[in-house]
Amino acid sequence: MKYLDEYRDEDLTKKLLDEIAATVTQSWVLMEVCGGQTHSILKSGLDKLLPDEIELVHGPGCPVCVTPLELIDKAVAIAARSDVIFTSYGDMLRVPGSAKDLFSVKAEGGDVRILYSPLDALKIAQENPDKTVVFFGVGFETTAPANAMAVAHAKTLGIENFAMLVSHVTVPPALVGLMSSPDVRVDGFLAPGHVCSIMGYWEYEALVETYPVPIVVTGFEPVDVARGVLMAVKQLEDGRAEVENAYARAVNREGNPQAQQIVSQVFEPVDRAWRGIGQIPQSGYKLRDDYALYDAETRFPDVQAINTQESEVCISGQIMQGIKKPFECPAFGTDCTPQTPLGATMVSSEGACAAYYRYGRFEASQSINLSDIGSEA
């Protein structure tokens, strides 16, 4: 498959791994920010094929995982209303709230629907004028343009029975939050390629000036990740801290100006709570005042009084900060499984715990064959 198979090439991956081994002289901790990268790394076995000096830890780049419990509970309360059609991407339906998830609401008779585009929610709103159609707007900068476009279209078309429950978060402030933590153990970052395809990577340049850590924009296939690791290791060994792009086929410095424009038109930055991590200043989006009519939290003010209750066992916050690995959680693989999740990191298709469970990382040691890389589909 052109532009894909070559980035899963076993020989090229081995060359990159050999070059990493020849370059590294001391121990380094690298964080891949994106949950999609985490799954690719474990699926291909790169976490076990890298030299022992390189440790990969997993960042907060899973939007489903960092959606605060309070917002999940608000979604559940709104979805249970008889006058609402609640729509969402599929991953969100199994994320546990304090008492139940959205699938439970659907099983109890709530009109909860899985969509693949927020624009489909506008069609549903037009077809059901007697109901308020709410779309759960979750994601990083990658999904923000489509969600912003849906809200802008709703206003242009005069569709007033549409609202969005917004849970957008942004990557650069999260990295600032991680580097500001006294528990930080990250020497360099593999930045998320899909986010940078929208926003570019110019925002990271100020970050490396404040916190001298390499940031390498990286793709999602084994060759992409290995190349990103090599570039980060070379910087660390040279004592450099720069922003570099290892994903030039999809990313440039400036990003997508049109996408950025619609996001800026509809959303504005706001302090946002991240599940398991806490409040991060200016790390999310909210609807601007011109679009306040479409804010589901404003539309349904009674949800503001919800009290939340997190699991006392789940350590997903420490996992998403690179402090611990999923198998270090006492509930991992026993009380917490994809069928009985205690936290969002076991539910999401980008969650680190889900990746560790799916690819059998139940302990620190496990052998991997390099030939597994070429066979991954």
Per-residue pLDDT tens digits for 198-244? 999 999 999 999 999 999 999 999 999 999 999 999 999 999 999 99
Neighbour count for residue 261 (Cβ, 10 Å): 12
Fold (topology level) of 1-377? Rossmann fold (3.40.50)
- In angstroms, rounded to a whole number, what is the distance separating the alpha carbons of residues 326 and 316? 8
48 CB contacts (<8 Å, ≥6 apart)?
A: 366, 367, 368
Instruction: Judge whether residue 62 has pLDDT over 80.
Output: yes
Q: Are 178 and 184 in contact (CB under 8 A)?
A: yes
**Per DSSP, which regions of 170-232 are E strands?**
188-192, 215-218
Higher pLDDT, 210 or 305: 210
Model pLDDT, residue 305: 66
Nearest CA-CA partner of 139 in 110, 166, 104, 106: 166
Per-residue pLDDT tens digits for 72-121? 999 999 999 999 999 999 889 988 888 899 999 999 999 999 999 999 99
Amino acid making up residue 347 = V
Say what the pTM is.
0.90
Task: Identify the sign of the CA torsion 206, 212, 217, 220.
Answer: negative
Model pLDDT, residue 376: 47
Task: Identify the sign of the CA torsion 196, 199, 202, 205.
Answer: negative
Phi, psi dihedral angles at 168 (to 5 degrees): -85, 135
Mean pLDDT (the chain, rounded): 91
Per-residue pLDDT tens digits for 334-353? 999 988 888 889 988 889 99
Model pLDDT, residue 366: 53
- The two three-digit tokens of residue 160, written as one number: 């007033």
Q: Are 133 and 162 in contact (CB under 8 A)?
A: yes
Domain boundaries defined on the chain: 1-377
